[in-house]
Structure 1
Amino acid sequence: MEQKDLSQLTSEELLQEAKKIKSGNILDAAIIGFLIGVAVYSTVRNGFGFLTFLPLVYLPIATKNKLRNKEVEKLVKEKGLK
């Protein structure tokens, strides 16, 4: 599925994206927490290995999500939708 440019979204679509932000932040935090837990467990159990650095794989995805969320919040504020 191709994502639209945020500036081309209608007001309704932009409000829907803004509502998804909170659950997306919680999901990102849960995934990062889980990955850190796996990394710590793996390091304690087996020493340094691939799983030790597993959380670093998800960081670019979480960063991209965070930047998109900030852009959505900025557009909502500019349009005065909230």
Structure 2
Amino acid sequence: MLASKDYSALTLEELVSEEKKMKSQKIFVGLVIGITMGIAVYGATHKSFMLPCILVILAFLMGKRHSQRLDEIQAEIGRRNEVR
């Protein structure tokens, strides 16, 4: 997998900027997941087995990764706000 950023090395302003960027990407990620699931359903209804399985797993991993990154950013912002 791709290496994730070290959010503890970023400033608070950079973290807030990164959080806003991640939140604005939610719609795009949801759209990509929706298209992927649509292709999986199409493949399943047309007697294919491997394609839908792979696409469902891919969609799950994409959503999970995006959610984890956003949670990491929000946790780091929360830790920084507790210190102040």
TM-score by length of 1: 0.76
Q: Which residue of 2 aligns with 1:66?
A: 67
Q: CA RMSD in A?
A: 1.9
Q: Which residue of 2 aligns with 1:16?
A: 17
Match of 1:67, as an amino acid?
Answer: Q
The 2-side partners of 1:78 and 1:67 are apart by: 16
Q: Which residue of 2 aligns with 1:38?
A: 39
Give the unaligned 5+ runs of structure 1: none
User: SS state of the match for residue 48, structure 2?
Assistant: coil
Instruction: Tell me the percent identity.
Output: 31
The 1-side partners of 2:61 and 2:52 are apart by: 17
CA contact (8 A) 2:44 2:52 kept: yes
Number of aligned residue pairs:
78
Match of 1:21, as an amino acid?
Answer: M
The 2-side partners of 1:4 and 1:48 are apart by: 38
TM-score by length of 2: 0.74
The 2-side partners of 1:52 and 1:60 are apart by: 14
